[in-house]
Amino acid sequence: MQKLKGAHSGKDAILITAGPSVVNKIKHLKKIDRKKYVIFLEATALTKRYILEGIEPDYYLMPYASKFKVNTLINFIYQSIKVDVNPKYFLREDHHGVVNKILNNKEKLLQEWNPKKGIHKRIKFKSDTYLEDSHYERVKSFPRCKIIAREQDMNLEYPNLDLPNEIHYFEFSDQPATTFSEYLEVTVKNGKSILNPGLSTNTSAISTFPIMNFMGIKDIYLFGFDGTLFGNFEDNVQNLFKSKLHFYIFYFLLRKAFDFSFKLNFPLYLRPKFDLESTDLLCKQFPSKIYRIVGNDSPTYSFKNMEDVEIDRLL
């Protein structure tokens, strides 16, 4: 990843994070002047609708290779298996075919992982597993975008990786950051770029913000940073579950499968309180100005240290 140091000095970035509030605004991204903005796409934002719009990002972010194996629906099914909950009681019937395919092949797809560490680590997908319609398969639609990932993680999960994309690697430090300066710093050890997580549990905050700063990005526009549990673009609760009540019951039953320390927030659709507040605090300290573009298609959380703007500002 050292080649990317200062690669976009002075340019602004758009980070596409796939909150369902902006699902009907995706099409507007095609009007953006690509000479002015660098587009980063989070792993979960790679939905079918986004692909159909044909907006190839400059960078696809993959800090956790295991998330490359799934999509939003498959991930819900996978998490349900950890706690022996039948997802068909909660998911809409038109998704039961995918459920059956996973459940009927779980011995072939899954293996015991480290259950002593908690229910969230009870099982994992086997190495070298490639699922139909996963993010791994979907990224093949954008062969020119660069992938940013952890090398050790990718080598473990995909020993036979076969993608045409240029990949830039980094690793996480064994020592989590305790100060903001440590969090923001990208160091080099044994020829590898090292990031220091620890000040937030949000994926964007853990690695993406320091990477953008490392590249010299000026200001950041977050597209769909809703702060909720309602899914990703069209792969949202409304389209996946029988009702919101079904989703809330499902998520309550699975809460420890997602994270052993997971604590429900209120309203129930919000991400955990620490996730939201720690990210907000980082935005306050971050050297770049951070803006957010949200829509009216789904509820959102109100961050104190992000300025909400209309997408017209980018066009």
DSSP for 107-119, please give it.
HHHEEE--GGG-G
Go through 283-299 and write b for each residue having 16 or more CB atoms within 10 A of its CB, e for each that does not.
beebebebbbbbbebbb
220 by DSSP, 3-state: which? Answer: strand
- The alpha carbon of residue 74 and the mean position of all alpha carbons in its chain are separated, in whole angstroms, by 14
The number of CA neighbours under 13 Å toward the Cβ of 201 is: 14
Total Cβ atoms within 10 A of residue 31:
10
pLDDT of residue 198: 85
Residue 263 structure tokens: 């604590």
Predicted confidence pLDDT, tens digits, the chain (315 residues): 999 999 999 999 999 999 999 999 999 999 999 999 999 999 999 999 999 999 999 999 999 999 899 999 999 999 999 999 999 999 999 999 999 999 999 999 999 999 999 999 999 999 999 999 999 999 999 999 999 999 999 999 999 999 999 999 999 999 999 999 999 999 999 999 999 998 888 877 889 999 999 999 999 999 999 999 999 999 999 999 999 999 999 999 999 998 878 888 999 999 999 999 999 999 999 999 999 999 999 999 999 999 999 999 999
Question: For residue 294, which of 113, 70, 25, 15 has the smallest C-alpha distance?
Answer: 25
Q: Do 280 and 227 touch, CB atoms closer than 8 A?
A: no
Q: Judge residue 103's burial from the number of C-beta atoms within 10 Å of its C-beta, 0-12 exposed, 13-18 middle, 19 or more buried.
A: middle
What φ, ψ does residue 299 adopt, rounded to 5°? -60, 155
Rounded to 10°, the helix 96-104/72-82 angle is 50
pLDDT of residue 203: 79
pLDDT of residue 205: 87
What φ, ψ does residue 175 adopt, rounded to 5°? -105, 110
pLDDT of residue 154: 95
Q: How far apart are CA 121 and CA 264, in angstroms?
A: 20
47 by DSSP, 3-state: which? Answer: coil
pLDDT of residue 12: 98
Residue 185 structure tokens: 């710093």
Q: Do 15 and 40 touch, CB atoms closer than 8 A?
A: yes
pLDDT of residue 278: 93
Q: How far apart are CA 58 and CA 41, in angstroms?
A: 8
pLDDT of residue 13: 98
What φ, ψ does residue 237 adopt, rounded to 5°? -55, -40
Q: How far apart are CA 288 and CA 205, in angstroms?
A: 13
pLDDT of residue 230: 97
What φ, ψ does residue 129 adopt, rounded to 5°? -95, 130
**pTM (two decimals):** 0.96
Q: Do 105 and 47 touch, CB atoms closer than 8 A?
A: no
Q: How far apart are CA 143 and CA 247, in angstroms?
A: 35
pLDDT of residue 42: 96
pLDDT of residue 81: 98
Q: Do 1 and 24 touch, CB atoms closer than 8 A?
A: no
